């Protein structure tokens, strides 16, 4: 009875509402959005038709992902298809091709020069991060097949004992430390292999499994805040600050942000433990007998696994991009005949489609100029200092849930640097300086980019957690909201009152 009622609500109420809202947003006059758009000369040009269509597509995707009316990966595929049909330069004729009137002007204005290259949308299916996922899945499959996952998990989690709550803390600590020095996506992909044996020894109905799965994105996203190389928004912030005359060294950042990460990880531990309590009293990892025997194949998998992790961790030295490194195990293990065509079937392809849809939506937001338009439409110059901090952080947090946090930081930080320069010499200069000035605002925005983790498509680590099949979107969103609110408030207080850069 319950399942039937859920079916009815999703398909007979929510789905029609989402489709009607999407259609209205797709067809209504652009003026009704009340988004003031100006060109570089300061002339009003209004929202373009393609930008309007991306808004409609954005709302459709967000609501479908939130309510899970259809599987999330299916929504992502729909986003790719709809984007190709409605906003690409190779879409439906009457929607994406300009018909010229007798005066030589387009019959439908607002379309000129705003189409998205269809190749860019299709390329989201083979985005470098998607390839990193592919390599991560290969490592996880091989680790499980040859017993690496149990061995490494036992070694890394041994200091934390066998109590489930301490194992959860162990996951959070280990993941966050790795994420400070290597890609958070690579960290999450690696930790997926260590998670499997822990989940295997817990009862099927143990809610603690959900907490362990969510520990991957929470710790990976938060851990990256700790160092300048932990996540791209940190480097973007430091680079922009240096150009503006505020040099931030690796040590300057780490001495302030690692303590912040420690506090956030402890908070995450409490949140996950209480939201998803364990039924089990002990977690004991034992290597199955059939995996204890060593042969040349298991030795090769060990070498490839450790080599891949070392290459991920030394990216700044080797200069080999982590996304490229992820394909090395796939190439080597297939060439050796260890990873076979039967193993390919074990790859979680639905997660790859899920991530690709998120990237396609991000491509549309950026290529049509909509992301930049939405940011520029905010009147930062007329706001009070505290409100500038709050709005900048919220905008970064919101956009980072739908497009990459790197892209969000790259779009928003240059604008905020200009805003900060204006505030430094304006009537609010004293109050702006009291809150830490330019350094505090820009670093706070970088933090907001990393705490955005509401949906499976928000960050690659979120999608990896979703690939376990244990986490529903509502669980991820619940934890994401709690950690987002706490991270937002704590980050603001931390960087403007407790440990502002200007106080150094």
Give tens-digit pLDDT for 452-470: 998 888 888 898 888 888 8
Q: Is the pLDDT of residue 431 over 60?
A: yes
Determine which of 264-273, 360-369, 387-396 has the lowest per-residue pLDDT on average: 360-369
The residue ranges of every structural domain in the chain are: 2-115, 128-344, 368-503
For residues 445-478, b (16+ Cβ closer than 10 Å) or e, as one string? bbbbbbbbbbbbbbbbbbbbbbbbebbebebbbe
194, with CB counted inside 10 A (0-12, 13-18, 19+), is: buried
End-to-end CA distance of the chain: 62
- The pTM of the full predicted model, rounded to 2 decimals, is 0.78
Any bridge partners for residue 88, and if so which? Answer: 116
Secondary structure E strands in 97-173 = none
Percentage above 90 pLDDT, the chain = 32
> Which pLDDT band, with edges at 50, 70 and 90, does 133 fall under?
confident
pLDDT in tens, 95-115: 776 554 444 444 454 455 578
CA distance readout (Å), 91 to 33, 83, 117: 24, 8, 10
HSE on the CB side for 471, CA within 13 Å?
32
Per the model's pLDDT, the better-predicted residue between 247 and 393 turns out to be 393
Alpha-carbon dihedral sign for residues 109, 114, 117, 120 = negative
Give pLDDT, residue 418. Answer: 82
DSSP string, 236-288: HHHHHHHHTT----HHHHHHHHHHHHHHHHHHHHHHHHHHS----S-------
CA dist., res. 202 & res. 412, Å (int):
44
Q: What is the DSSP letter of 56?
A: H
What is the CB neighbour count within 10 angstroms for residue 274?
9
């Amino acid at each position: 009875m319950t399942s039937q009622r859920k079916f009815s609500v999703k398909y007979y109420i929510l789905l029609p509402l989402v489709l009607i809202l999407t259609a209205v947003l797709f067809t209504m006059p652009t003026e009704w959005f009340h988004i003031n758009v100006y060109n570089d000369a300061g002339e009003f040009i209004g929202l373009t038709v393609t930008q309007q269509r991306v808004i409609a597509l954005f709302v459709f995707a967000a609501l479908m992902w939130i309510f899970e009316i259809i599987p999330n990966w299916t929504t992502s595929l729909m986003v790719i298809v709809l984007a190709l049909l409605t906003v690409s330069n190779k879409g439906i004729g009457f929607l994406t091709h300009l018909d010229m009137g007798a005066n030589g002007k387009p019959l439908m204005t607002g379309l000129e020069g705003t189409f998205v290259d269809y190749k860019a949308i299709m390329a989201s299916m083979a985005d470098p991060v998607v390839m990193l996922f592919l390599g991560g899945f290969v490592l996880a499959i091989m680790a499980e097949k040859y017993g690496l996952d149990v061995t490494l998990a036992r070694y890394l989690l041994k200091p934390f004992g066998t109590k489930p709550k301490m194992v959860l803390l162990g996951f959070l600590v280990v993941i966050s430390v790795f994420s400070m020095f290597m890609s958070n996506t690579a960290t999450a992909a690696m930790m997926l292999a260590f998670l499997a044996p822990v989940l295997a020894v817990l009862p099927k109905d143990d809610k603690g499994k959900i907490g362990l799965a969510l520990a991957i994105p929470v710790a990976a996203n938060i851990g990256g805040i700790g160092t300048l190389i932990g996540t791209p928004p940190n480097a973007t912030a430091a680079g922009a600050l240096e150009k503006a005359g505020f040099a931030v060294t690796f040590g300057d950042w780490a001495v302030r942000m690692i303590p912040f990460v420690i506090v956030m990880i402890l908070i995450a531990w409490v949140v996950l433990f209480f939201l998803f309590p364990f039924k089990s009293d002990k977690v004991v990892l034992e290597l199955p007998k059939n995996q204890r025997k060593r042969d040349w194949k298991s030795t090769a998998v060990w070498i490839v696994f450790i080599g891949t992790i070392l290459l991920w961790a030394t990216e700044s030295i080797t200069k080999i991009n982590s996304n490229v490194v992820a394909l090395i195990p796939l190439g080597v293990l297939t060439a050796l005949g260890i990873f076979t065509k039967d193993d390919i079937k074990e790859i979680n392809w639905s997660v790859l489609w899920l991530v690709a849809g998120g990237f396609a939506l991000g491509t549309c937001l950026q290529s049509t100029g909509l992301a930049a338009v939405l940011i520029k439409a905010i009147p930062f110059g007329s706001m009070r200092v505290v409100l500038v901090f709050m709005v900048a952080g919220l905008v970064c947090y919101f956009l980072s849930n739908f497009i990459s946090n790197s892209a969000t930081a790259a779009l928003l930080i240059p604008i905020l640097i200009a805003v900060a320069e204006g505030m430094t010499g304006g009537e609010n200069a004293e109050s702006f300086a009291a809150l830490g000035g330019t350094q505090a605002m820009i670093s706070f925005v970088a933090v907001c980019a990393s705490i955005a983790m509401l949906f499976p498509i928000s960050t690659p680590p979120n999608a990896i957690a979703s690939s376990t099949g244990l986490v529903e979107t509502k669980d991820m969103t619940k934890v994401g909201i709690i950690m987002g609110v706490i991270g937002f408030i704590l980050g603001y207080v931390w960087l403007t009152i407790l440990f502002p850069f200007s106080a150094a």
